[in-house]
C-alpha cells in the first residue's frame, strides 16, 4: 500500500464524518461535548426565514442523488397556509454502491436529529418522519435511542428550548423495497400503501405527505445543516466547487487497497480518491466505475481526472448521483456486472408502468442469453431499443436509471459483448444456472 501525497491528503474535509472517530458519539452527553446541539441553540434564536436564506447562501445541494438546491426546496413551502407542514428524511439508502447514510446514522445519529429540528423549525413543521430502510436495523436502533434521549433533554417535544416551537419525530422502518427511496413512493409507503411513485405535479412542496406541504431530504443533506448553521455559508463554500459547494462523503468500494468512506470537497477526482484509498489492489487495473451508484452511466479509466461534482460528471456524460464510486478492474466483466444490476432493477421495479416492468424483464433474459453463450448480434440492438423505450418513457427514475449501465457498457465495452456473442469468451452462466433462474 502506498501513502498518499500531502497535496492529495489535503483534499480530505472531515466534517460530517469527524465525530465517527468518537466511539460514544451516539450518546447524547458525548454528542453535546462535541459541539452537539450548539447549532440548534443558535438556530432557534434566529428567524426561520433567515435560516432558509442561510441554507440558500451556503449553496447546499441535496445529497440523495439529484443535487437539488436545498434552500430553494425549503423556500417552496408555502407559509401561512393554515396546513400542517412535514419534514420527511429519506433514509432508505439502497442505490447499489451507496453506503454513506447508514454509518452516519449509526455513529452520529444526533447530528441528523439536530438537523431535523433545525430544518423543521425553518419550514414550520411540527412533525417529522425519518423513513429508514427496514434492513438498517442497527442504525434504526441508535436513531430511536437518540430520539428518546433528545425528548428527555427537551430538544424534542413541546416548546423546544423555550422557543415556542413544537416538534415530534417518528423513526419509521421500511420493509424492503428500493423504490421507496424515490420520494413520492416513500410518501405513499409512509401513508401505509404500496410504495409506488406518484404523478407530479403536484410536487411534495405543496401536496406531499397527507397532501400537505412537505420537504423530503436525504440524510446527508439534513445532517449538513448544523455545520452550516455553526460555521456559516462562507466557511461551507470554502469546500467544494463554485456550483457544488461543501464536503461530500465518497463511498469507495471494489478493487482498491482500502475501500471505505472518504469525505472530500466536491470536485475531487477518482485519481485522487484512489490515491487516498492506497491505490488499486495489486494486479488490478482500473477498467470501469460508477461515479454515483448503478443508476449513473459507467465511466472508464479515461475519466480518472473528471472533477466529481455535479457539473463535472454531467460534462463527462454521467451523473454524480450519490457519490458511490464502485471501482472495477480488468479482471471484472462489464457485461456480467451489468447483468447483476439489471437483475436488481428487474426485482425492484414496482410494476406500475410498462416500460420499466417489462423492459427490465426482457433485458435480464437477453443478458442471460448473451452470458450463456447463446447471444446474437441482434441482441445488442434489442438491448438498445429496449433502453430507448424505457428512458424518458417510464414513470419514475428507476426505469431511467436501469438503462444507465446497459447503454454505457455497450458504449464503452461493445467488444466484451461481441466476445461472448462470437464465442471468443467462455460463457459465464451455464445452462444449469439458467434452469433455476427466475
Ligand X SMILES: Cc1cc2nc3c(=O)[nH]c(=O)nc-3n(C[C@H](O)[C@H](O)[C@H](O)COP(=O)(O)O)c2cc1C
Of 94-113, binders to other proteins (CB under 8 A) are: 94-99, 101-103, 106-107
8 binds ligand SF4 per the rule CB under 6 A: no
Calculate the dihedral angle through the C-alpha atoms of 280, 281, 282, 285, rounding to the nearest 10 degrees.
-50
**Closer by beta carbon to ligand SF4, 349 or else 408:** 349
Tell whether residue 423 is a contact of other proteins (CB under 8 A).
Answer: no
Dig out the grid coordinates for 339 from the structure: 447483468
Query: According to the binding rule CB under 6 A, does residue 92 interact with ligand X?
Result: yes
**How far apart (Å, rounded) are the C-alpha atoms in residues 235 and 256?**
32
From ligand SF4, other proteins, ligand X, none, interface partner of 90 (C-beta below 5 to 8 A by class):
ligand X
Position among 51, 132, 187, 398 found at the interface with ligand X (CB under 6 A): 398
* Residues 325, 290 contacting (CB under 8 angstroms): yes
Here the cell at position 43 is: 438556530
User: Nearest Cα to 332, choosing from 375, 293, 289?
Assistant: 289
Is residue 394 at the binding interface for ligand SF4, with CB under 6 A as the rule?
yes
Strands 214-218, 247-254: pairing kind = unpaired
Q: Per rule CB under 6 A, is residue 196 in the interface with ligand X?
A: no
Neighbour order of strands in the sheet with 214-218: 168-173, 127-132, 86-91, 214-218
Report residue 247: phi and psi, to 5°: -85, 160
CB of 361 to other proteins, least distance (A): 16
For ligand SF4, which stretch binds (CB under 6 A), given 141-149, 159-167, 332-340, 343-351? 343-351
Instruction: Give 164 or 201: the residue with its C-beta nearer to ligand SF4.
Output: 201
Interface with ligand X (CB under 6 A), residue from 3, 10, 49, 68: 68
Site for other proteins in 315-374 (CB under 8 A): 317-319, 321, 324, 326, 328, 332, 336-337, 340-341, 344, 347-348, 350
Contacting ligand SF4 within 171-200 (CB under 6 A): 179, 197
130 touches other proteins by CB under 8 A: no
Binding mask 45-64 for ligand X (x = CB under 6 A): -----------------xxx
- Tell me the backbone φ, ψ of residue 325, rounded to 5 degrees: -95, 100
Give me the 372-411 binding string for other proteins, x by CB under 8 A, dash otherwise: ------------x--xx--xx---xxx-xx-xx-xxx-xx
Q: Tell me how far apart the alpha carbons of residues 158 and 172 are, in angstroms, rounded to a whole number.
A: 21
DSSP E strands in 74-203: the ranges are 86-91, 127-132, 168-173
How many residues of this chain bind other proteins (CB under 8 A)? 166
- Let me know if 152 is exposed, middle or buried by CB neighbors in 10 A (0-12, 13-18, 19+): exposed
Find residue 132's DSSP bridge partners. Answer: 91, 173
Which segment (48-56, 155-163, 353-361, 418-426) binds other proteins by CB under 8 A?
48-56
Helix (H), strand (E) at residue 247:
strand 247-254
| Letter string b/e over residues 288-302, b meaning 16 or more CB atoms within 10 A of that residue's CB | bbbbbbbbbbbbbee
Picked from ligand SF4, other proteins, ligand X, none, the partner binding residue 353 (CB below 5 to 8 A depending on kind) is: ligand SF4
Element (H, E) at 220: helix 219-237
Q: Which does 245 bind (CB under 5 to 8 A by kind): other proteins, ligand X, ligand SF4, none?
A: none
Cβ nearer to other proteins, comparing 49 with 422: 49
Kindly tell me which of 222 and 429 has the beta carbon lying closer to ligand X. Answer: 222
Residue from 40, 95, 402, 404 touching ligand X (CB under 6 A): that is: 95
Site string for other proteins, 226-245 (x = CB under 8 A): ---xxxx-xx--xx------
Instruction: Compute the distance between CA of residue 141 and CA of residue 11 in angstroms, rounded to an integer.
Output: 33
Q: Which stretch binds ligand X (CB under 6 A): 86-94, 265-273, 323-331, 415-423?
A: 86-94
**Site membership for other proteins, residue 182 (CB under 8 A):** yes
Give the closest residue to 319 by CA, choosing from 339, 341, 290. 290
Eight-class DSSP state of 12: B
For 274, list phi and psi in degrees, rounded to 5.
-65, -35
Smallest gap from residue 39 Cβ to ligand SF4 (A):
36
Please give the residue ranges that form the binding site for ligand X (CB under 6 A): 62-66, 68, 90, 92-95, 179, 181-183, 216-218, 221, 396-398
Please give the residue ranges that form the binding site for ligand SF4 (CB under 6 A): 179, 197, 349-353, 356-357, 394-396, 398-399
Amino acid at each position: 500500500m502506498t501513502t498518499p501525497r500531502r497535496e492529495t491528503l489535503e483534499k480530505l474535509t472531515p466534517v460530517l464524518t469527524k465525530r465517527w472517530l468518537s466511539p460514544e458519539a451516539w450518546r447524547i452527553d458525548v454528542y453535546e461535548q462535541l459541539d452537539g446541539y450548539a447549532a440548534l441553540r443558535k438556530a432557534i434564536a434566529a428567524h426561520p426565514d433567515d435560516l432558509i436564506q442561510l441554507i440558500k447562501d451556503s449553496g447546499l445541494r441535496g445529497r440523495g442523488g439529484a443535487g437539488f438546491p436545498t434552500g430553494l426546496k425549503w423556500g417552496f413551502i408555502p407559509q401561512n397556509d393554515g396546513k400542517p407542514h412535514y419534514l420527511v428524511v429519506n433514509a432508505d439508502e439502497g442505490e447499489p454502491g451507496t453506503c454513506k447514510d447508514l454509518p452516519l446514522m449509526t455513529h452520529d445519529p444526533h447530528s441528523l436529529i439536530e438537523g431535523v429540528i433545525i430544518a423543521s423549525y425553518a419550514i414550520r413543521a411540527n412533525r417529522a418522519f425519518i423513513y429508514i430502510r427496514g434492513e438498517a436495523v442497527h442504525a434504526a436502533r441508535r436513531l430511536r435511542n437518540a430520539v428518546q434521549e433528545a425528548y428527555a433533554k427537551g430538544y424534542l417535544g413541546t416548546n423546544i428550548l423555550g422557543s415556542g416551537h413544537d416538534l415530534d419525530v417518528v423513526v419509521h422502518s421500511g420493509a424492503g423495497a428500493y423504490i421507496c427511496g424515490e420520494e413520492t413512493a416513500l410518501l405513499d409507503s409512509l401513508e401505509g400503501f404500496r410504495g409506488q411513485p406518484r404523478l407530479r405535479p403536484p410536487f411534495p412542496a405543496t401536496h406531499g405527505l397527507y397532501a400537505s406541504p412537505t420537504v423530503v431530504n436525504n440524510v446527508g443533506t439534513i445532517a449538513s445543516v448544523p455545520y452550516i448553521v455553526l460555521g456559516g455559508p462562507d466557511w461551507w463554500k470554502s469546500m467544494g466547487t463554485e456550483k457544488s459547494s461543501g464536503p461530500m462523503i465518497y463511498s469507495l468500494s471494489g478493487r482498491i487497497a482500502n475501500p471505505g468512506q472518504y469525505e472530500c470537497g466536491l470536485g475531487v477526482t477518482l485519481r485522487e480518491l484512489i490515491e487516498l484509498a492506497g491505490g488499486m489492489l495489486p494486479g488490478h487495473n482500473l477498467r470501469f466505475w460508477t461515479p454515483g451508484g448503478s443508476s449513473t452511466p459507467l465511466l472508464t479509466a479515461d475519466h480518472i481526472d473528471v472533477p466529481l461534482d455535479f457539473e463535472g460528471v454531467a460534462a463527462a456524460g454521467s451523473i454524480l448521483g450519490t457519490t458511490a464510486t464502485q471501482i472495477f478492474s480488468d479482471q471484472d466483466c462489464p457485461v456480467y456486472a451489468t447483468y447483476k444490476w439489471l437483475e436488481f432493477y428487474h426485482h425492484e421495479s414496482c410494476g406500475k408502468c410498462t416500460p420499466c416492468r417489462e423492459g427490465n424483464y426482457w433485458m435480464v433474459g437477453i443478458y442471460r442469453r448473451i452470458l450463456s453463450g447463446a447471444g446474437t448480434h441482434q441482441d445488442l440492438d434489442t438491448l438498445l431499443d429496449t433502453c430507448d423505450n424505457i428512458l424518458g418513457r417510464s414513470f419514475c427514475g428507476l426505469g431511467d436509471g436501469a438503462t444507465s449501465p446497459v447503454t454505457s457498457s455497450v458504449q464503452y465495452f461493445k467488444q466484451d459483448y461481441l466476445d461472448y456473442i462470437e464465442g471468443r469468451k467462455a460463457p459465464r452462466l451455464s445452462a444449469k444456472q439458467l434452469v433455476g433462474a427466475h
